[in-house]
Amino acid sequence: MDVGFVGSKPEPLVHLMIRQNNPSSRVIGCDIDESRIRFLHLDNILVGDVHFLPFADSFFDVVVLGEFVEHFYSLPPLLKEIARVTQSGGKVLLTTPNPYAFPRWVKHWLLSPNPVSIHNFKRFLYSEDHLVFWEPLSLCNILEQHQFRPVSITTRHQVVPLLCRFIPWLGNLDINVYPFNRIGLYTCIIARKK
């Protein structure tokens, strides 16, 4: 199995799970900034632009877009390139911050006295280099339009505000039960190439 990582922060470190389940797999990391992908400790690291990946057509069984799409205003050009390097029937695993994360939504939308203040929307986006949060169902629609059929969607790291201060383990809670699996900090989508 050939697995490609585009972006530098899969959540959780998906490559470890892939290696455990497929010990003979070859995992390759690719990012435009080599220093940002070094922490994955992969044997194969390449510097490359997602719009022009240095791989042959249908090269990968699985492509992981880890904490990546929030850095782009437009996804079609990069999804076209991801489709090119993914085998037919191959998978894309996409993780990105969830705009519907309960604490994020409450703090920066519902309770913010001034939602349009620069401080508020920059904090909502979580990082200075994040340009946009992609809404989960819109991501599914965009994937569907670019050769990928979404097969599952969930979130990770459900956070219970205030309680986390008193019960720290609640900060790493993953409840894979509806509706809690829709309000975590990170959206996780698995899609299969048509």
- 52-99 residue pLDDT tens: 998 999 999 999 898 889 999 999 999 999 999 999 999 999 989 999
Tell whether the model's pLDDT for residue 51 goes beyond 80.
yes
Tell whether the model's pLDDT for residue 2 goes beyond 70.
no
Dihedral sign computed on CA atoms, order 112, 129, 30, 85: positive
- The predicted structure's pLDDT at residue 121: 84
Segment 24-29 shows an average pLDDT of 81
Closest CA to 99 of 124, 72, 75: 124
User: Which has the higher per-residue pLDDT, 91 or 43?
Assistant: 91
pLDDT band of 1, cuts 50, 70, 90 = low
Number of domains in the chain: 1
Q: Coil, helix or strand for 45?
A: strand
Domain containing residue 44: 2-193
| CATH value at residue 50 | 3.40.50.150
User: Residues of the chain with pLDDT > 70: what percent?
Assistant: 81
Residue with tokens 């959540």: 11
